[in-house]
Structures are given as C-alpha cells and as structure tokens.
Amino acid sequence: MAEHIVILAGGVGGAKLVQGFADICPPKRLSVVGNVADDWEFHGLWVSPDIDTLTYTLAGLIDEQKGWGVREESFRALGLLNRLGKETWMQLGDQDFGLHIYRTERRRKGERPSVIAREIAERLGVRVPILLPTDDPVHTRVQTPAGWLAFQEYFVRERCAPPVHDVRFDGAERATATPEVLGALDRADLIVIAPSNPIVSIGPILAVPGIRRAIERSRALKLAISPIVGGRAIKGPAAEMLRTLGHTADARGVAKLYAGLVDAFVIDEVDRSEAAALSALGLSIWVEQTVMRTREEKCHLAERLLKRASLATKDQGVA
C-alpha cells in the first residue's frame, strides 16, 4: 500500500475524492494540493473558493447538497452589502465571511497564504494537510466573446454560459511552488489527479513552475480520474470548455491532456467501451465506478484506486 499519497484536486469534484481517501487513510499519509487560481477579492476580502471547498469538506462543514459552502449557511452580511448597492452575485455566507475576514487580515500582515490555509484547516479540525501550490497570486482568466473574464466572473456571475476560447493563468510564470508541495511530491509513492476540471482546476496547479516537472520526475505511481463520464462533466463546465478549446468533450479529450504525465487513467464504467482505444495513448486504462454520489461511493472509489495502485506497484509497473 502507498506510503504517501498526494492528490491534486480542484473544488467540488476533487473534494469528493479527497474525502474518500481521508475516510480510509491515516491523515499523515495524505497531502492534498488545491487550486488557488480561482481566488479573487470580493468586497476587499480574499476569497479562495477551491481551498475553502476542500477545507469545509474535510471539516465536515460542507453543504453536501450544493457541494460548496457551509451547511445551513445564512447570508445576512451579503444582504446588507446588497442594500448598500454592492454586486452580490458571489454567494458568500456569513460563516464564509468570517473565514474570509480572518484570511484577509492575516494576508495583509504579510503572512504566507500556505500557513494561513493550514492553520484555518487545523482550527476547523481538518487533519489532512491542504497544501497551496504557490503563495504567489495566480489568477485564471478565460476568454469569452465578451472579452477576458476573471474566473469567478465567468463561473459564478455568468454561470459558465459564455463559450471559452482561451484560458490563461496570470502570474503563474512568475510563481514559486511552495516547499510543502514540492516536499510532498518528493515523498509521494502515489500521485492522484482528482476528477476535477483538467483545464481550470488542475491546469493552474501544473502551471506553477516546478510542479509538473516534480510529478514527471517522481517515481510514484500516477493516476488521473476522468471528470468526464459519458461525454458529460459531473459538475461544472469541463465538457463545454474542452469542446470550445478544441479538444473532444469526452474521456479521451481528458486522457490526451494527461498523457505523458500519468501512468494510469481511470474512466467510469459507462465509458468501458472506450478503454481499448484509450490504451493507444500509452496509458493504462482502469475502469471503475467513478461517480461519487454518497460517502460510501467516495470511499469505495478511493479503496479501489488504492488496491489497484498497490497491485500495480507490486508488479513493478502498471497492469
């Protein structure tokens, strides 16, 4: 069995898989690398949606229905901001605001975002380390017919409606990977890319200089799970985005993005018929039930992946 597992994860979909692993692994054997390129300032406060989704999920605070935000949340602070004439399309709850206020105060003091995120998670009872790929600002922007939008403008305000013709990660080139992430990747004997959007969730993590190379160099077994099942994204705009960016909106489109980086690519049972063709990409194709509707399904997927990873490692290669 893997001694140290690093999971690269975006928001909702990634958090589900992370929760599955967290349920079956001791916390010290896991590290989660989250996405900070969705971070954005709202009302003068630093909001970090993907990291918060991971944190709330692992803290048991998450609204399971929505997949993000705190359960039984209220929106009174936002209501007052609305009365004061502010745009309030970003649904920030009252407890959320407490968190953003806390993070913003510490960031303004010049503290490392990684340290702040770690301490928030610890205070909320999370035992699995949630690592930031970088402490530097990286901002995803998407090009739409209306021009370049900040990711949250596209994702929340525009509800992912506009076609995305290009994506960039402002600041990524100048960003420095955190020693925590490089250290975790160095120790890893299993690296898992969660079923998150490969372009705007996993993409900005891999865009931080040094991270992709650390994964490539790692002797760990590397897996990626397709976020596209039966030609559709479980959640979010991944399928449409793949299409408008010139990829195919299916598991194959995702597999091609990860070919050369991972050893095995995990597709859902509904896509079983594609397995043979996908093997031609030089990837080992694992077929599993990847859709996680319940806590049990999350654990089940994590267990299956760990078991297959263990077998693959024993065989000195990927079966």
For its own copies, the closer CB: 122 or 189? 122
Tell which one of 28, 66, 108, 159 touches its own copies (CB under 8 A).
Answer: 108
Reduced to 3 states (helix: H, G, I; strand: E, B; else coil), residue 172 is coil
Provide, rounded to whole angstroms, the least separation between the CB of residue 44 and its own copies. Answer: 3
* Residue 74 engages its own copies in binding (rule: CB under 8 A): yes
Which listed range, 81-89, 247-255, 279-287, 291-299, lies at the site for its own copies (CB under 8 A)?
81-89
Tell which one of 63, 90, 94, 156 touches its own copies (CB under 8 A).
Answer: 94
* Residue 84 engages its own copies in binding (rule: CB under 8 A): yes
* Residue 147 engages its own copies in binding (rule: CB under 8 A): no
- Quote the DSSP letter at residue 163: P
Provide, rounded to whole angstroms, the least separation between the CB of residue 129 and its own copies. Answer: 18
Provide, rounded to whole angstroms, the least separation between the CB of residue 55 and its own copies. Answer: 11
For its own copies, the closer CB: 101 or 275? 101
Tell which one of 3, 64, 87, 105 touches its own copies (CB under 8 A).
Answer: 105
Cα–Cα distances (Å) from 78 to 42, 62, 88, 165, in that order, read 11, 19, 7, 32
* Residue 66 engages its own copies in binding (rule: CB under 8 A): no
Reduced to 3 states (helix: H, G, I; strand: E, B; else coil), residue 210 is coil
Please give the span between the terminal C-alpha atoms of the chain, in angstroms, as a whole number.
Answer: 16
- Quote the DSSP letter at residue 60: T
Which listed range, 96-104, 159-167, 293-301, 310-318, lies at the site for its own copies (CB under 8 A)?
96-104
Tell which one of 60, 79, 260, 317 touches its own copies (CB under 8 A).
Answer: 79
Q: What is the β-pairing status of strands 139-144 and 166-170?
A: antiparallel
Q: How many CB atoms lie within 10 A of CB 27?
A: 13
Q: How many CA atoms lie within 13 A of 216 on its CB side?
A: 10
Beta strands in the chain, from DSSP E residues, in sequence order: 5-8, 30-33, 40-42, 45-47, 130-131, 139-144, 147-150, 166-170, 190-193, 221-225, 228-229, 232-233, 264-268, 284-288
Spatial CA neighbour of 282 closest among 299, 296, 294, 264: 264
**Site mask, its own copies, residues 21-60, x = CB under 8 A?**
----------------------xxx---------------
Q: What is the β-pairing status of strands 30-33 and 5-8?
A: parallel
Which listed range, 74-82, 134-142, 203-211, 292-300, lies at the site for its own copies (CB under 8 A)?
74-82
113: tokens are: 């975002």
Residue pair 151/38 in contact (Cβ under 8 Å)? The answer is yes
* Residue 126 engages its own copies in binding (rule: CB under 8 A): no
Which listed range, 120-128, 134-142, 248-256, 304-312, lies at the site for its own copies (CB under 8 A)?
120-128
Q: Distance from CA of residue 88 to its chain's centroid?
A: 25
Provide, rounded to whole angstroms, the least separation between the CB of residue 132 and its own copies. Answer: 17
Count of residues that bind its own copies according to CB under 8 A: 30
For its own copies, the closer CB: 40 or 97? 97
152 Cβ contact list (under 8 Å, min separation 6): 38, 40, 42, 47, 49, 90
Provide, rounded to whole angstroms, the least separation between the CB of residue 136 and its own copies. Answer: 21
109: tokens are: 């003091």
Query: Where does this chain bind its own copies (CB under 8 A)?
Result: 43-45, 73-74, 76-81, 83-86, 93-95, 97-99, 101-102, 104-105, 108, 119-120, 123-124
